């Protein structure tokens, strides 16, 4: 019998899913999703930093029943994993955000919708409800990612729409006072094809079918010849979506005035900012460096996690995204103190590979890998994954140092 080619069998790892996605996508769309900023150092660190951590397995422990479930905001989920926001998912393939939310809803997985999605937040919510009604599973929460405009009042309409559609939290991105230097985007523009728009931005209504100009504006800003030119472009384009004037007191107070939804801050990378998030009443934080697409010289999110856990001291949930590519990575993040994990690019690769079924395949891979890792590490429950289960490769001596 002839050996099966890689395209004849289902992918077994997230890396194999990504390779299938790369085969299916136009090269500039793949690069748009896969690339980071500048020299892509943060992008690489996000993935590679997990490799410095080793799991210290314990044996002769009863792991005949491994439970991967956890709770977040009183919601019980089968996995400590959700789907992070990513823009313009219809460019990846299939029905874009609709395929992702159907996969998430069917598996009772949390999803955060990007404000720059190619599907309206109302349609995404309806798709989630249709799946949960059909399967009669518990409806997983939907969160709405938000960029605050310079004129914060211009964000109110989107917030109201999300609240009306029963989104349970606003995920405020706080690390984009200016866009990172994304070279792949600058070299090859990503243009929405006819009939595709960004219906959750101010420039379009939910019913609009006209192309949105936001990607073009972003590229103009990144390609400005000087910093002064970029500032002039920002002013000329009106109240741009990525505010550079947000402050702790002003931004959090504004959101508390206009919504009763939970407020989650995405883009926290230091203990100092984590402490301020608690002080100013955030309901949770996401340790994130925007997938390596903003400041390239920052550390990996898993490297930032320990000092953030120390600063928060269990007062609010800590969510981590960035670089998670295996169930073992999920285990390591939980061991270092994260309460929940979000994956972004892997969901896109699943979408590009096989639409809704591809996203489901990604979650199934992570679930199997996490369960197997817990079993082999001698841990039967998520809450028992602790820091003492990790070691770090010693720098100056041979061996593993306990954390």
Cβ(393)–Cβ(400) under 8 Å?
Answer: yes
Q: Does 147 appear as a known binding residue?
A: yes
Among 28, 242, 280, 290, the active-site one is 290
Structure tokens at 280: 């100013």
Q: Does 325 appear as a known binding residue?
A: yes
| Cβ-count burial 134-147 (b if 16+ within 10 Å, e if not) | eeeeebbbbbbbbb
Q: Does 322 appear as a known binding residue?
A: yes
Q: Does 288 appear as a known binding residue?
A: yes
Contacts of residue 260, Cβ cutoff 8 Å, sequence gap at least 6? 163
Instruction: Give the DSSP H or E segment for 352.
Output: helix 345-377
Q: Does 182 appear as a known binding residue?
A: yes
CA dist., res. 274 & res. 286, Å (int): 9
Q: Does 114 appear as a known binding residue?
A: yes
Q: Does 86 appear as a known binding residue?
A: yes
**CA atoms within a 13 Å half-sphere pointing along the CA-CB vector of 147:** 25
Structure tokens at 43: 């992008």
Q: Does 136 appear as a known binding residue?
A: no
β-partners of residue 341 are 81, 320
Cβ(336)–Cβ(303) under 8 Å?
Answer: no
Map tokens 């009443």 to a residue.
281
Q: Does 339 appear as a known binding residue?
A: no
β-partners of residue 65 are none
β-partners of residue 400 are 393
Reduced to 3 states (helix: H, G, I; strand: E, B; else coil), residue 58 is: coil
Distances (CA, A) of 244 to 14, 82, 114, 117, 156: 35, 28, 19, 22, 18
Q: Does 234 appear as a known binding residue?
A: no
Annotated active-site residue 290? The verdict is yes
CA dist., res. 333 & res. 327, Å (int): 10
Strand ranges (DSSP E) for 158-296?
Answer: 169-173, 262-268, 284-287
β-sheet with 400-402: strand ranges across:
53-55, 390-393, 400-402
Contacts of residue 102, Cβ cutoff 8 Å, sequence gap at least 6? 127, 128, 131, 356
CA dist., res. 54 & res. 328, Å (int): 9
Q: Does 225 appear as a known binding residue?
A: no
Q: Does 273 appear as a known binding residue?
A: no
Residues with a catalytic annotation lie at 290
Binding residues for FMN, by number, are 85-87, 114, 145, 173, 266, 288, 321-325, 344-345
Binding residues, by number, are 85-87, 114, 145, 147, 173, 182, 266, 288, 290, 293, 321-325, 344-345
Binding residues for glyoxylate, by number, are 147, 182, 290, 293
């Amino acid at each position: 019998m002839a050996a099966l080619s890689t395209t004849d069998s289902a992918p077994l790892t997230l890396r194999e899913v990504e390779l299938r996605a790369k085969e299916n996508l136009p090269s500039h769309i793949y690069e748009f999703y896969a690339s980071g900023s500048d020299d892509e150092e943060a992008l690489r660190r996000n993935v590679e930093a997990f490799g410095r951590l080793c799991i210290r397995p314990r044996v002769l422990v009863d792991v005949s029943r491994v439970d991967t479930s956890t709770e977040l905001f009183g919601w019980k989920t089968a996995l400590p994993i959700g789907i992070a926001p990513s823009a313009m998912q219809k460019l990846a393939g299939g029905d874009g955000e609709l395929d992702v939310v159907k996969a998430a809803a069917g598996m009772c997985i949390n999803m955060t919708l990007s404000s720059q999605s190619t599907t309206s937040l109302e349609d995404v919510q309806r798709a989630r409800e249709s799946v949960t009604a059909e399967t009669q599973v518990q409806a997983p929460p939907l969160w709405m990612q938000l960029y605050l405009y310079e004129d914060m009042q211009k964000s109110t309409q989107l917030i109201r729409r999300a609240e009306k559609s029963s989104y349970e939290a606003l995920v405020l991105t706080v690390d984009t006072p200016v866009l990172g230097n994304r070279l792949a985007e600058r070299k090859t523009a990503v243009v929405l094809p006819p009939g595709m728009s960004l219906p959750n931005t101010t420039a379009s209504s939910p019913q609009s079918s006209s192309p949105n100009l936001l990607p073009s504006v972003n590229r103009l800003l990144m390609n400005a010849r000087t910093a002064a030119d970029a500032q002039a472009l920002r002013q000329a384009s009106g109240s741009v979506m990525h505010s550079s004037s947000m402050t702790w007191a002003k931004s959090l107070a504004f959101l508390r005035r206009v919504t009763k939804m939970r407020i989650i801050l995405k883009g926290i990378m230091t203990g100092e900012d984590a402490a301020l998030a608690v002080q100013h009443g955030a309901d949770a934080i996401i340790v994130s460096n925007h997938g390596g697409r903003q400041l390239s010289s920052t550390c990996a999110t898993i490297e930032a996690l320990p000092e953030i856990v120390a600063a928060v001291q269990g007062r609010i949930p800590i969510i981590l995204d960035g670089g998670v590519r295996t169930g073992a990575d999920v285990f390591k993040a939980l061991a270092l103190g994260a309460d929940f994990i979000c994956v972004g690019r892997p969901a896109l690769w699943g979408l590009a590979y096989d639409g809704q079924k591809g996203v489901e395949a990604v979650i199934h891979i992570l679930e199997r890998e996490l369960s197997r890792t817990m079993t082999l590490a001698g841990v039967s429950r998520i809450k028992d994954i602790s820091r003492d289960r990790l070691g770090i490769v010693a720098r100056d001596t041979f061996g593993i140092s306990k954390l």
